[in-house]
Structure formats: C-alpha cells, structure tokens
Structure 1
Amino acid sequence: MASNVLSLYRRIIRWPAGHWLFTRAVCFKAPYFASISPLIKTLEPNRCVATFRHRRRVTNHLGTVHAIALCNIAELSAGLMTDASLPPSMRWIPKGMTVEYVKKAAGTMCATALPGQRIVESDEGYELPVHVTVTDPDDETVFRARILMWLSPRPSR
C-alpha cells in the first residue's frame, strides 16, 4: 500500500503542472521548504529527486548557493523519500544530519535521496540513514548529507 504522500504524488503529476502543484502542496504543509522554491522531480519508494534554482534569495556573500539552502533541499528530499517508502504502520522523524560541502555550488541544484539500508516494518523503533547527494548543472557533486531518520511504529488508536 502506497503512503498518502506517494498516492498524492502519483495522482497529481498526471495533471498539467502536476510536479509544481505537488511541490506547492508539500510546501503548504511544511512552509519552511518554500524558502528555496523547490521542485519535486521524482518520488518513488526508496528514491526522491528534487531541484531548486540558484537565485538571489538562496545566494550567500560569495555569490554561490548558501549552505543552509543545500541542507534544506537535502532534508526535504530525504523526508519525502522516507515517507514514500515506509510501511503504513510506521512513522518517521529526522534525528540528525551530517553534511559535507564538496565544492562551491552554483546553478540549479539537484538532490537525490536514497536509503542507506532496507526499510522494514518493525515493532520497535530503529535508525535509518538516508544519503543525499546534491549535484550542479554539470552533474558534479557539490554537497553530501547523511540524515539519520528515526522510524517507529505508529501508536495504536
């Protein structure tokens, strides 16, 4: 059974401007992500690809993409990938993030989030590492993140 976010994604992307509409819905639910004006390109179990354009509001004093904008796209793509991959009986929350700034970031950024291990249903909570790589328009890695997600059973109602 697909998660609610994955079901919504699959429905909306069939519409004209569907990827844009889906992304706006995500940013409505979690408004901080709108600060980078992302676009969700792909969402499927175990994979999410999201982009954002290099524009003034995400630019640092060096004229490159700000480090926190890169963290923002990493957390967004990791969270969506995790949500789209979970069994319905499980829930998630970010627990920590380790980042590496590989080189100066300029141009449209593309983040790809992948799980670091198999996502399984469990009666107990466990940590899931999610690996996010952000590339520039030349497909060169500019940023890497390892986001630790805490997965746990949903409480019984």
Structure 2
Amino acid sequence: MSGSLLSLYQRITRWPAGHWLFSRAVCFRAPYFATIAPRFVTLEPGRCEVRIRDRRRVHNHIGTVHAIALCNLAELSAGVMAEVTIPPGMRWIPKGMTVEYVAKAVGTMSAVAAPDAPAVESAEGYEWPVVVHVSDPAGTEVFRARITMWLSPRSRH
C-alpha cells in the first residue's frame, strides 16, 4: 500500500488541482478527516506536510483554531507519512498521542510530520515515535504532537 499511495501522490500532484484531488482521495478513504478540509503540500518517505485553511468550521468559541482540529491535523499528517515510510512488510496504527499547545493558533495551519528514527522491518511489533510541528502563517510553532505509532508485521493470511 505504501508504494501505491506515494505513487498516486507523485502522479496526481503533477496535474492542475492535483494536491486538492489527492487530499479529497485521502478523505474519501478516511472520511472523518474531511472535517478539517486538509490540503497535502508535500509527501515523501519520512516527511508529510499538510495545511488547513483558517475557516470558521475549525474555530473554537474564541476564534482560534480548535484543539481537536489541530489534533486531527497532526494525526492525519503522521498517519499518511507513516503509510509511505514504513517497510512494506509492516503496518501501523496510532497507539497514543501527547500534545502541547504552544501559542494561539490563528490563521492557516501547516503541519509537518517526521519520525524520530527510521522504521525497520521486524518480526515483532514495536513503538515508532512521530513528531508533528504545526505552525501559523508567520512560521511560529503553535502546536506540537508526539504520536506513538505501533508498527507490526502484516499478517500473511
């Protein structure tokens, strides 16, 4: 799957509106993420950048980007990065997430997900930490997440 998702991204983003189309395809596969209307900016093994526009539907009662919208952005960017990064014989699932709200989240948010260490093929499952930094339009970090992915061998049934 990982090679096919990366291949799809590389092919489709060459087209006009390709980043939008890829983002829609991901949200079709995982519909909940459509609630934040993400736009994939960069995707390669070990790195994924996703943006969400400053819209009322992602705001909280004080007009900043809602904490859960930021968590969704972090989980989406980390998950798609994991999908194109881990060895083909492995699968992933989020096991836990810790977050820090560093500053007011105002404006378009840009999340960059990257692993702490390379993912390796293993006969046993293991934890694989991914860090996501979310910045505002000025480049100021407003949110940080550490997502523990559980990597395990794909079943051979």
TM-score (norm 1): 0.97
1:116 aligns to 2:109 (yes or no):
no
- In structure 2, how many angstroms separate the alpha carbons of the residues matched to 1:117 and 1:51? 24
1:5 aligns to 2:18 (yes or no):
no
Q: Is the 8 A contact 2:2 2:83 kept in 1?
A: no
Q: Is the 8 A contact 1:52 1:109 kept in 2?
A: yes
Q: Percent identity?
A: 68
Q: Is the 8 A contact 1:134 1:141 kept in 2?
A: yes
**What secondary structure sits across from 2:88 in the alignment?**
coil
1:20 aligns to 2:13 (yes or no):
no
Q: Is the 8 A contact 1:54 1:109 kept in 2?
A: yes
- In structure 2, how many angstroms separate the alpha carbons of the residues matched to 1:134 and 1:114? 12
Q: What are the ranges of 5 or more consecutive residues in structure 1 without an aligned counterpart?
A: none
Question: Who is 1:101 aligned against?
Answer: 101
Paired residues, number: 157
TM-score (norm 2): 0.97
Superposed, which structure 2 residues align to 1:117-132 within 5 Å? 117-132=117-132
1:70 aligns to 2:96 (yes or no):
no
- In structure 1, how many angstroms separate the alpha carbons of the residues matched to 2:9 and 2:131? 22
**What secondary structure sits across from 2:96 in the alignment?**
strand
Deviations 1:20-77 (A, max 9, x none): 1000000000011000101000000000000001111001011100000000000000
Question: Who is 1:57 aligned against?
Answer: 57
- In structure 2, how many angstroms separate the alpha carbons of the residues matched to 1:5 and 1:147? 21
Question: Who is 2:142 aligned against?
Answer: 142
**What secondary structure sits across from 1:73 in the alignment?**
helix
Return the offset for 1:2.
5.5
**What secondary structure sits across from 1:50 in the alignment?**
strand
Question: Who is 2:33 aligned against?
Answer: 33
RMSD (Å), alpha carbons: 1.1
**What secondary structure sits across from 1:3 in the alignment?**
helix
Q: Give, as a single letter, the amino acid of the residue that structure 2 aligns with 1:8.
A: L
